[in-house]
């Protein structure tokens, strides 16, 4: 198994959150960017499917970082909902 994802140098999520102290972000990086779930990364799947990277705020699980929107450059990300279904909160 490789030590880290081959896309790290160009990954907006990694570049933006690698120094963040938040335990959740650190956990995602440990599991997906440098760990056993590398091939399950929804960011990588999005890039392969669309030929362009997703929003920097899209997590490796396909969900968006809390408080962010699934937009890049003011335009909706095409196909993001396929990788990141949003569930309504329970009433």
Residue 37 contacts residue 61 (beta carbons within 8 Å):
no
pTM attached to this predicted model: 0.71
**Predicted confidence (pLDDT) per residue in 28-61, tens digit:** 999 999 999 999 999 999 999 999 999 999 999 9
């Amino acid at each position: 198994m490789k030590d880290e994802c081959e896309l790290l140098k160009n990954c907006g999520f990694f570049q933006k959150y690698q120094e963040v102290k938040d335990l959740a972000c650190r956990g995602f990086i440990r599991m997906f960017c440098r760990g056993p779930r590398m091939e399950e990364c929804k960011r990588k799947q999005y890039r392969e499917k669309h030929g362009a990277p997703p929003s920097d705020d899209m997590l490796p699980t396909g969900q968006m970082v809390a408080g962010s929107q699934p937009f890049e450059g003011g335009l909706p990300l095409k196909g993001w909902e396929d990788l990141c279904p949003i569930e309504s909160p329970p009433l």
